[in-house]
Each structure stands twice: as structure tokens, then as C-alpha cells.
A and B are shown apart, each in its own frame.
Chain A
């Protein structure tokens, strides 16, 4: 143990009753701050993971747009499954009511394997569609009902009218992601080719990456392998605004919860200033014995760490335990009909723990440094003459 540690420990022990109220509040403040930040970040992580999972479940990890063959892609390592697709703006006609939708023609045989869709009914076969529950609700349709679909831009040259197809609703899905349940209609590639007259080739291929492969690495591999006429997007690129909004939300949460640390730091600074005055003479004695200014500063900082650091560590431990307990026992329920899970999701990442520790200790160090600075620079003769 360094001598500064010994001195700060003894000084802390002897000044336990001085400024204990502010000291206690700074300790509680740091603890509450750490706890709140860990819990808030882990809830955000939980919901973000849920959204990521749903987005990836609907779109895959990567999307290649352009004329590309399925074989070129599947040759690469790290690809779990691919889904070729055609996508158009389409219209669902129901009497005089018309709704604009996104028609996505896919390989229906692989649909259940590729998409993670909570589906009521069956995956569509030829002459069938699967649509989102919001869209079905607006149309007043259910599984087994008929609808008429067409793609307005794919007009037939002979009559100037697009081909219309009467199709049966085989399934209704509910993703609860963005407006997908109100927009998307899945159909088979064969039906797609009949509807989309203007261009019968594939629009792109969705790719699901194997769990041990990094999406960004596979994306660069694909960009290197495929020619310039195709573009590769990751699921993050496709949902850039959502991903950015979630990042911004995280920064906002961290900033707002840091205010708890700020208030605790003010309390700590008040307590440390009080102790600094009480220890003025002792500091003078130490400096007369040759203790350098930076050692005095260290002593004050360690005293601050000793007070508020304890609170931060307790808050940190309780925060982690709380998250673990929620994941284990699911104490806080959420409505499963909205979120598809029963309990509040919480996920802790190491980087978040580092952020919490870093912010809390930065506040403690700053408060101790500022309040101890004057004391460390006091003239020795003035300090020695100081009467408590």
C-alpha cells in the first residue's frame, strides 16, 4: 500500500463524521446513478436486440440489389441461406377500395426457413398471398378470403392495363416492426413473374449469414466478388434512420442519467471541501516533511474515491444483479400481445459497463480533484498555522 493510500485511509476514518450527510448523499447518488444507467442501458439493449432480430428476421442480414445469380453468392463461405426476390409497388383492389402495398415475390418453398414471421395460417403457394395483420384488418379480410392484386407500372402493351390476379389469403403475419404489417404482401416467384410484366428478372437476393460470420466481413467479400452493377446493403444500411435514431436515443439516455452523477458529484465536492478545511494543518505537516503537491492531490482524490466510489461500486453490482435476476425470473412483465415476449428484455454489453464505470469515476475524480486543488496548493506556513 502506498503512503498516500495509508494517509487517505486514516484521514477518511478520522473524518467519517465530518460532512457525513453530503458524503452519504454523494455515495447514494453515485450508487443510484450507476444502477439506473446499467438498468436503462440494458433495457434499451434488450429492445434494440428485439428490433434487430425482427428486422433481420424480415429482411435477412444482407441484401444484394441488381442482376445477380444465386449460384455466385452461395459459393461464398458464411452464407446460411439465400432468398431471391422481386419487389414492386402494387395495389390491392377490394371493390372501390384500393390500397397501395409492396408486393414481394419470393421462393415460397424456403419462406418458412428464411423469414422469421409470426404467421397465422400457411405460407403462400401459387395463387396465394400472405399479408400483414394491419393490412388485413383495414381490408376486413382473414385467412381464406380472396383479394385482387396488380402492379400498376406493369401495364400490358396490348390494352394498356396491368394484369390483375385474384388470390387467396393463405396466412396473416404480425411483425410489429415499422409499417411492415400494413405494407407487405408475400407471393410466390411464379405469380410475381406473371404480375410483373415489365421486368421478369430478379430484383435482388436477401442473404442470411451463419451465426459465426461477421456481416460486415461478408458484405466486403460480396462487394469484391460481384461486379459494380450490383449493390450490397447490410440490414443496418437498409434501416439507417432507425439505427441512427436508436444510437441517438442511447446517447440521450446516457447524458440525462449522467445528471444523477452530476448532482452526486456536487455533494461529494461539498463533503470534500469540508474535509479539506479540517485537514489543512495535517496537509501542512505532510508538506513540511516533503510531501509533494501531487501526493496531497492524490490523497484527496483517494478520499473522494473511498466515499463516493463505494456507492458507485454498490450501484454497479446491484445493477448487474438486477439485470441477471430479471433475465432469470422475468419479474417485470410486458404485454406479450404487443412485444411477443412476456418479460422486459434486458441485455448487458461489456462496453456499456465500461461506459458506466468510466462516467461515474470521471465525476468522482473531477469533484475530488477540484475540491482538493486549493488544499494541495496551500502555503505550508499558512496550513501549519491553521486552527480548526
Chain B
């Protein structure tokens, strides 16, 4: 059994517009160990993005407990959360969210810059090579295809060698060929780097790569049989 990286226990989250209260997550509990791929499948609006935002400390929750790398996040201040996000978590967003002002290699290097680490360009070049984007490294996001942007986003998520990678519908905007390529890549990364990967999708084929597969329905998480 791998080392426990992520532990979410009975997390509840609701949104309120003043009059009505909409419960998005109800008693959401999830464990992720190093080297594990966990997939969460659900329909649009089922709360997948909210769940991933909470697991990645991008959003707050109403009640429950969240532990990342053995540290409870609810007791952390903003600066500590920033450090956790930078060092322990890598994000891959559905819409890639690359910085348009920076080239592919600069986007990949950004987490290292934020961490104020020594120049790690060699590692970034290694990653970009693994993604098959060596000849596109100096191109800006607007000059890359959707598939290429996804791979840059994956490389960026891996740059600081995080223990946990959170991918929010990474294949959502890709055609089948590019989607399969990206899924293969995530599988390969999981083998090579032994990171815990939590991936949300509404595609059953993509969900199949998970060592543990869950379904999120009406805010409640259930294990796929």
C-alpha cells in the first residue's frame, strides 16, 4: 500500500443565493495513495469541478476534513495554502488555463519560478520532450492546438514534482485521438512518477484508467461496482 496523499472526510459544500440553499457535495469522502489513479465520473452539474476545486484548495468547504500530505488544510492560512498548491498539488484544467503571454516552456516553468527554486529548465525540457512538444516549446498558447495545450498543461502540473495531480475533465475539449493520447500520457506519468492522480470525467472510457473508480451523483460519491 502506498503512502496516503489525500484524505477527504465527510466534506459538505453548498451554495446559497440568499433564499435557497443548493447542496453540491454531501458527505464527500475520498482517499488517494501515492501511485493511485482515481477517477470520478459524473454528469455535467454533478459537482465534479467543485469537488476538485475543494481537493485542490481552490475553494472552501462548509464542513468536513481535508488532509493533504498529512496536513489538515482547514487550519492553514492563505500563505500556507499557496505553498501547498505550489509544492504538493498539480492542476490540469479542462480549459488548460495556460498564460497567453508566456511560451509553452515558460508556462511549464512557471510553478518553479513561483517556488523560487533554482533554474530547473533542464527538467522542464525533459518534460516537454516526454510530451512530444520539443519543437513547440517556444510557441505561445495561441499558436498551439488543443491537444498540445493539454499536454503543456500536464507538463506544467508535473513541474514541481507534486505528490498529487488533480485533472478536471482533461479530455473534455479534445477529439478522440487527442483524448486517448492524453489518457495514455497520464497513465505513463503515474507509472513513472508514482503520483496520486484524481481525475474527473463524464467519459466512461476515460474513467476506466482509474485504480479506483467513483461516480458522483447529486453531490454524493459512490464507488463504481
Contacts and interface: CB of A to CB of B under 8 A. Distances in A.
For chain A, the bracket of interface size reads 20 to 34
Given A3-B110, A282-B99, A282-B101, A289 B85 contact: yes
A10 B101 contact: yes
A168 B94 CA distance: 103
Nearest to B58: A380
A11 B100 CA distance: 10
B61 interface: no
Contacts of B116: 3
B82 A285 contact: no
B97 interface: yes
A146 B156 CA distance: 99
Of B82, B111, B116, which is in contact with the most chain A CB atoms at under 10 Å from its CB? B82
A11 B116 CA distance: 20
Interface stretch (A225-233, A290-298, A319-327, A339-347): A290-298
A6 B107 CA distance: 12
Nearest to B60: A379
Contacts of B58: 288, 380-381, 384
A13 interface: yes
Nearest to B57: A380
Interface string B47-72: 00000010010110000000000000
B101 A290 contact: no
A287 interface: yes
Interface string A278-310: 000110111111111101000000000000000
Contacts of A281: 97
Contacts of B136: none
Interface in A238-293: 281-282, 284-293
A14 interface: yes
B86 A285 contact: no
A289 B83 CA distance: 9
A290 B97 contact: no
Nearest to A290: B86
A387 to B, nearest CB: 11
Interface in B80-100: 82-87, 91, 93, 97-100
16 contacts: A7-B101, A10-B101, A14-B101, A281-B97, A282-B99, A285-B99, A286-B99, A287-B82, A287-B85, A289-B86, A290-B114, A290-B115, A291-B86, A291-B114, A292-B79, A293-B82
Interface of A: 3, 6-7, 10-11, 13-14, 281-282, 284-293, 295, 379-381, 384
